[in-house]
Structure 1
Amino acid sequence: MKFLSPLIVVSNMEKSKRFYNEVLGLEVQVDFGSNVTLTGGIALQTKDSWMGFIQKRDSEIVFGGNSAELYFEEDNFDCFIEKLNNMKDINFVHTLIEHSWGQRVVRFYDTDKHIIEVGENIIMVVRRFLKSGMSVEETAARMDVPVDYVKSCLE
């Protein structure tokens, strides 16, 4: 068995495709109308077709459950945050935070209230700490990871 793709249900396919392209830079790879695969392997399925597949009524499809997210990492995190902050109609779960291990992240909702997390690429976190003057050992301690992991991020 092989896992292929997360699939999320959307209420408006065109609006969702536009959101994922404009905010995250994802492109349509395959478009079957009611099912679309984006770069990165995310599949979008229209709500109407999904109801037929799982044999449920409209009232049984609930958006905004806050129980899962799509996770992305960004190498140029500062530029992404600037872009996001300049966009209209971004509905934040929370604005920029820094986790205890030093990774900066932001979470926001897509057009159907699916949570999107964009985190700073962890290799870039290592590089940011080292560039600030921390040693490999201090970086490992700050991030609560083995020294070998920090070294592997430099290769």
Structure 2
Amino acid sequence: MEFKGTLLVVEDIEKAKVFYRDVLDQKVTIDLGDHVALENGLALQANYAQVVGQPMNTVYGANNFQIYFEVQDIVKYVNRIKEDGSIHFVHDVRAYPWGQQAFRICDTDKNVIEIAEDMNVVIKRYLDKGLSVEEVSEKTMYPVEYIKTIM
């Protein structure tokens, strides 16, 4: 068996499509109306009960999962999203003990989206500060062998 992707059940396919395309920079690869496939294996589906052929108890904003994206420049990205003014922030940018910065927002159906800086950016920042490969490994929890490939 091979995993092929994640499908999000959405209430309004047009609003969801605009959010994922314009806010999260995801490319629409297939648009079939109620079903939209995005790059990286993510898909959006409206009228899900009709697809499965039975009533479904869809709970929007259940907060029982999140979708995760990484960016190269988190400050630039968070500022761009804040300029929009309509996007709900779960929390602003925060730094985690391993050095990565991240923030969380909600999509149009109240699904939690984490946007974090690429861990390679974090590793390079530590290396640029003069930390040894071993120190970077300890801080980030990434293997020494991986860190050496980024140098």
TM-score (norm 2): 0.91
Matching residue's letter, 2:38 = L
Aligned-residue offset at 1:131: 1.5
1:72 aligned onto 2:56: no
The verdict on how the C-alpha distance between 1:82 and 1:132 changes in structure 2, with shifts beyond 3 A counting, is farther
1:21-75 superposed Cα distances (whole Å, 9 cap, x missing partner): 11111121101111010122210000x2x01233115xx2110011111111112
Aligned-residue offset at 1:79: 1.5
CA distance in 1, matches of 2:82, 2:125: 22
Give ranges in structure 2 of 5+ residues lacking alignment.
none
The alignment's C-alpha RMSD in Å is 1.4
TM-score (norm 1): 0.89
Aligned-residue offset at 1:85: 2.2
CA distance in 1, matches of 2:80, 2:131: 29
Structure 1 equivalent of residue 55 of structure 2: 56
1:137 aligned onto 2:139: no
Matching residue's letter, 1:35 = H
1:7 aligned onto 2:4: no
1:79-127 superposed Cα distances (whole Å, 9 cap, x missing partner): 1122122221111111111121111111110000011111111111100
Aligned-residue offset at 1:147: 2.2
SS at match of 1:100: coil
Aligned residues: 150
Structure 2 equivalent of residue 98 of structure 1: 95
CA distance in 2, matches of 1:30, 1:145: 36
Give ranges in structure 1 of 5+ residues lacking alignment.
none
Matching residue's letter, 2:18 = R
